[in-house]
Structure 1
């Protein structure tokens, strides 16, 4: 009977499509796949003894310090050491609140090839108070229904949602659990609440493209982590018109939050709110430049209705700020600029400049949903953009934000330093990060900050100084030789640390025709787990739901994990390995405010195979939004077989902006990626990918006398060199301390 069944299947395959038939008697697990799974399971189940030291900034060991590691308390000994036996492999949340030092949140890494050995605390003077600021916050739309783009007049009730109406309080508290300890420890904390709060969403804005609301119970998430103030001066506060604004003001007040930036009248919208912090009177002002004046119902308050305070009403802003007591500490939060931009728009830049001379002491920017840099305007410190804190955007470029703790000297009422914590929104929920993911963001933040800023990356945070040259530079050199051709130099493979940056390039021999610098806009191509939640060694930005695609720890190129694809000769289709997100062109502006777009890219990956099948990459060129497709490009990556780890790269460019799609006339600004691994001709196949990057080539470097130098930290991890002869280069890497 077995022969007859197989014969029938063979006839059908021949008649319909070309396919392979697996003998049911050979239905056994692939050995390579099982070995890979077993290796990873053993690692996840593994433990190790770990010892790390607690020191101050002078590297003096601190004894009797209480350290919380994943909910367990430990005490440092007389040498500052903390010893933990049988600690499971993975990342473990660490929190330290020690008298005389700033609270510290971090990640204790316990992996076979990487172990945290040192945690540094920074001294906090008796006159110091900690002010903690985080970015755009809401608990609506996709939190309530994963499929929503905008919200209407009903309250969603979806079984698979992160927040359900009947359990909204508990669900919302769970969203901020991983970052709660640091916020609770701050003396004052604030977020930009970018959502109406209501249970009666009956008056949705009739012409606004995106409207949303959050349930009142969701505010408990912010109460639980100790938020004191919520800014309401933004372009979503009037999404449900006057009724929604009335509900919001009532619910925010009932929850116990200080607030400013919106009101039922123009006068109320421009009112500030005060908070006494020992002998310092904090005064908080908020306003938005996103007015919605193209609509019948604007987002800002005027003489006839409520709304947000209008930042473009310069006279009203000046009057609100300059009437304040000069002895107050005035914090002005501005909501505006271009969404998804990495630098402030010219208008918002001008507002930072103007408000810095209008009786303010601290300036903070919101709205772009992307973390921007730091600056100083007329001796007033500024956070240019915090990005998202709790938000439901699936865009890749919005997944990394900042929480910034500032050191306020209550005697001088000055801020001279702070601590920037990278925030990773994994499935819309904030997490602290460490390692490469943390350093990737911090180096970019330093690059886009002004020259008055010193940023010193640590493992899970950065020290921020609102003055130049506040760090020691440690350098390390590497010499490399390049053949006569165009080649990509992956600086990640030479750098002494992911916190390091190339500060000089010297040509020892030969000459370069061209030299470009580029950055990875994929970010999550190393398949490592850098956050502080309890999901060990997760790979969440790639779709590996297929049984044939899995994270693997047995033979990574770098770090702890690669991504593996398994096939055998009986499979009829390739395994599909998609990156979950569209990678978008970075929107940067030059000094004049003109948009700078770089559409030249290289796909780079390291790969290894054992009897591997053919591997190809599918690149899809899309619009920035709406996912409209311009073209698809299939790229052969490997013929398969037995291949050691090696690098593959492919150069491409997106089409010109003159080509558009859809009624919005959207240009090509995005690219999607998936790999396809085909079955082998015989036996079992496994192919491993690691350190995948989508390189955006953004600047051309001009050498002077065979040398390029920079004192500015940056996020460029790749060089593209073109030479007509062999070239020897010396790369100097710098790490700040």
Structure 2
């Protein structure tokens, strides 16, 4: 392969791209001339394809999949050489998917971040792993809450369909296929893929459930989206299959069958629902999958309006009862059994006690893998050991195709389970997770820093999973898996037989002011690095924190062909994401004001970030200005009803021109707060146009209990802790000696 020369770093800002906006100001037009040089500054992409043992695979094909503005990259291919290496040259700087194929192996879809600064002439994806196909091995994929109704067909819920709606009545099937186009290739590599179809499916739904607050349905034509994406079966065991009563259940069953989809978890009676287990033998592995719903009621206790099926003739979902679990396990003895259970607390981060109990009971009863959904948020990966080795629990998959846009519901994943038949039964030889970003209801794959951050969040939710139910100190058998980013994916591992880790200490000192020091960022040595220990030379209290803002880097996070989307931020001509100036990466926010304006320009988060009352928070970021007006950072808290309960200025900077500088503000959420919104303001200038740039913003949520740092603090890993701060520092010294412990992980 040819050697790639690197453009000097000092030249790259002059090459970076400006942002096209619907209405472009005179000042913004001045930046458009730099877009063409940026796009024309091509980038090379290199990597290596290996097998599970780390040995190179020669003759593998690496094909570029691309979308939208990045379509010029689509179809480019390379073949690995004898060392497994490949290179793709002269690519546009738009993130892509790599489809890696080789006879005898499962195809893999790996995101590649090409939104790189122009001074980088090349980038690497590292080692990409292929898994061999063989008799006795099956690849299963699971995705979460799915529907194609409500805001998909009427975004503004005004009763009128507009051209901008995602699914229109004249083109339902084609539109549904467009919704899944960014993830279809990833799902297509499964031997068998299952979705939680959380809606009634009907062309003409009957009467709605009279007591439910939320009912919705999808038109049968939209199921073409699932079949186009490679989904093979659906679970109907949920709290929305009965939204349109018995007629709706009947229509749903017929619609999914007409589209060639297997289905489980609902029927016209309980006995019939129990007989809906999906039974397939794939590559010699006998599979049995059964859907259940733990949600029996919604608005009424009347038997006719329960959400579950009853004998002799009450339609609904299959009840997640102990008797039904036992019946399923007994009927499917000798097969790889996967109960898929719908339940839990909506918008939560960890399973409630009732779900914990079910997870343990299901594994003890014979489940080879447990799958859960309903919360609309992703939970971590759990483990339960029935005595012959731990088994995985997917504690909540989150949304897959769903019309929610709250902050926490945009994060999800595709679970990939490679199941082997062994002499002793069955083994999930590998569990991987493909991070998904749900953007305006459409699932897309994450790349680069966003993928790594997503992986750390899953790792954090897993490693910090309590070992006991609430109010108890007695472990119940549910614990977290070891989860971290690995080779363009996220791996979930059972124990140290599947991974290695290495710990190392880093020592430094911090200036002390008023008995406190920090906050200071934890600098990771690589994507898998976790902060697992803290110790100080003097008596002090330490708090660790993690960034819950998620989109404060302003980078483009997903693979869809678009660039500088600024997801999560309210944008206009005078407030948007650009790349002429950036503190880190290639993007930052800009606020534009002139002396002719009479009011401030404000750029708020589009969605509030969930927090609890009393949470300790720190807002930290970077700002610079060119003839800027007064700059202010604002926060606003909201209660459970969505009402504002306080707006505060957290930082301000006087008007003028200045280079990048950091701002930091610490505060505590008021009692009764359930969410926070961050915004940035610039006032009109004294003369001419002013621009204020904002970048690398973090909203740090501190763990609630400070710990004794001198005695040393151990933290579970992998985790997403990214910041430290110290208080009550003894001794009156000017600096505090600190040692942090890094732990780096690698899959075997």
- TM-score tier, shorter chain, comes to 0.7 to 0.9
1:712: how far off? 1.8
Q: Which residue of 2 aligns with 1:144?
A: 153
Q: Residues 434 and 531 of structure 1 are in contact (CA less than 8 Å); yes or no, is this contact kept in structure 2?
A: yes
1:565: how far off? 1.6
Q: Residues 375 and 466 of structure 1 are in contact (CA less than 8 Å); yes or no, is this contact kept in structure 2?
A: no
> Of 404, 412, 419, which residue of structure 2 is paired with 1:401?
412
Structure 2 CA distance, aligned partners of 1:469 and 1:128? Answer: 20
Instruction: Answer yes or no: is 1:563 the counterpart of 2:589.
Output: yes
Q: Residues 109 and 116 of structure 1 are in contact (CA less than 8 Å); yes or no, is this contact kept in structure 2?
A: no
The residue matched to 1:162 in structure 2 has which SS? coil
Structure 2 CA distance, aligned partners of 1:83 and 1:637? Answer: 48
Structure 1 CA distance, aligned partners of 2:265 and 2:151? Answer: 25
Identify which range, 61-70 or 215-224, moves more after superposition: 61-70
Structure 1 CA distance, aligned partners of 2:652 and 2:495? Answer: 48
Q: Which residue of 2 aligns with 1:10?
A: none
Distance 1:294 1:565, change over 3 A: closer
Deviations 1:112-154 (A, max 9, x none): 34722424214335232111111111111111111239xxxx8
Q: Which residue of 2 aligns with 1:184?
A: 188
1:441: how far off? 2.4
Residue correspondence of structure 1 range 365-444 to structure 2 within 5 A? 365-377=372-384, 378=386, 379-411=390-422, 412-444=425-457
Instruction: Answer yes or no: is 1:131 the counterpart of 2:160.
Output: no
Q: Which residue of 1 aligns with 2:532?
A: 503
Deviations 1:161-185 (A, max 9, x none): 1001111100000111111112111
Q: Which residue of 2 aligns with 1:256?
A: 260
Structure 2 CA distance, aligned partners of 1:52 and 1:613? Answer: 46
1:45: how far off? 4.6
Structure 1 CA distance, aligned partners of 2:458 and 2:497? Answer: 16
Residue correspondence of structure 1 range 32-181 to structure 2 within 5 A? 33-40=28-35, 42-70=37-65, 71-72=74-75, 73-110=77-114, 111-112=116-117, 113=120, 115-124=123-132, 126=134, 127-148=136-157, 157-181=161-185
Structure 2 CA distance, aligned partners of 1:529 and 1:86? Answer: 21
Distance 1:615 1:191, change over 3 A: same
Residue correspondence of structure 1 range 213-612 to structure 2 within 5 A? 213-271=217-275, 272-292=277-297, 294-295=299-300, 296=302, 297-303=305-311, 304-311=313-320, 313-318=321-326, 320-377=327-384, 378=386, 379-411=390-422, 412-449=425-462, 451=479, 453-458=481-486, 460-468=488-496, 470-475=498-503, 477-485=505-513, 486-491=516-521, 494-507=523-536, 509-512=537-540, 514-545=541-572, 547-585=573-611, 599-612=615-628
Deviations 1:246-269 (A, max 9, x none): 110100111111111111111112
Q: Which residue of 1 aligns with 2:71?
A: none
Structure 1 CA distance, aligned partners of 2:355 and 2:417? Answer: 22
Identify which range, 343-352 or 643-652, moves more after superposition: 643-652
Structure 2 CA distance, aligned partners of 1:41 and 1:521? Answer: 35
Deviations 1:405-462 (A, max 9, x none): 1111033422132111111101111111122222222222223326562323125311
Structure 1 CA distance, aligned partners of 2:526 and 2:187? Answer: 29
Q: Residues 575 and 590 of structure 2 are in contact (CA less than 8 Å); yes or no, is this contact kept in structure 1?
A: yes
The residue matched to 2:183 in structure 1 has which SS? helix
1:533: how far off? 0.9
Q: Residues 615 and 704 of structure 2 are in contact (CA less than 8 Å); yes or no, is this contact kept in structure 1?
A: no
TM-score, normalised via structure 1 length: 0.87
Structure 1 CA distance, aligned partners of 2:496 and 2:581? Answer: 44
Deviations 1:466-504 (A, max 9, x none): 334632224555444322234443425x22234322122
Deviations 1:586-606 (A, max 9, x none): 6xxxxxxxxxx7522222221
The list of structure 1 runs, each at least 4 consecutive aligned residues, that deviate by more than 6 angstroms after superposition, is none
Identify which range, 354-363 or 496-505, moves more after superposition: 496-505
Structure 1 CA distance, aligned partners of 2:538 and 2:689? Answer: 46
The residue matched to 1:368 in structure 2 has which SS? coil
Deviations 1:205-257 (A, max 9, x none): 11211111011111111101211110010011111111111110100111111
RMSD: 2.3
Deviations 1:283-342 (A, max 9, x none): 11111111116414121112351100111x322332x22432421111100110100111
Q: Residues 500 and 733 of structure 1 are in contact (CA less than 8 Å); yes or no, is this contact kept in structure 2?
A: yes
Distance 1:459 1:620, change over 3 A: farther
Identify which range, 458-467 or 430-439, moves more after superposition: 458-467
The residue matched to 1:217 in structure 2 has which SS? helix
Q: Which residue of 2 aligns with 1:6?
A: none
Q: Which residue of 2 aligns with 1:4?
A: none
Give the count of matched residue pairs: 677
> Structure 2: any 5+ residue segments left out of the alignment?
1-23, 66-73, 464-478
Q: Which residue of 2 aligns with 1:647?
A: 662
> Structure 1: any 5+ residue segments left out of the alignment?
1-27, 587-596, 658-667
Q: Which residue of 1 aligns with 2:646?
A: 631
Structure 1 CA distance, aligned partners of 2:460 and 2:551? Answer: 20
Q: Residues 329 and 413 of structure 1 are in contact (CA less than 8 Å); yes or no, is this contact kept in structure 2?
A: yes
Structure 2 CA distance, aligned partners of 1:475 and 1:39? Answer: 45
Deviations 1:26-56 (A, max 9, x none): xx9655x445444455424532233333233
Q: Residues 145 and 402 of structure 2 are in contact (CA less than 8 Å); yes or no, is this contact kept in structure 1?
A: yes
Q: Residues 479 and 729 of structure 1 are in contact (CA less than 8 Å); yes or no, is this contact kept in structure 2?
A: yes
The residue matched to 1:236 in structure 2 has which SS? coil
Deviations 1:689-712 (A, max 9, x none): 111122222243423644222352
Structure 1 CA distance, aligned partners of 2:587 and 2:545? Answer: 24
Q: Residues 539 and 710 of structure 2 are in contact (CA less than 8 Å); yes or no, is this contact kept in structure 1?
A: no
The residue matched to 1:323 in structure 2 has which SS? helix
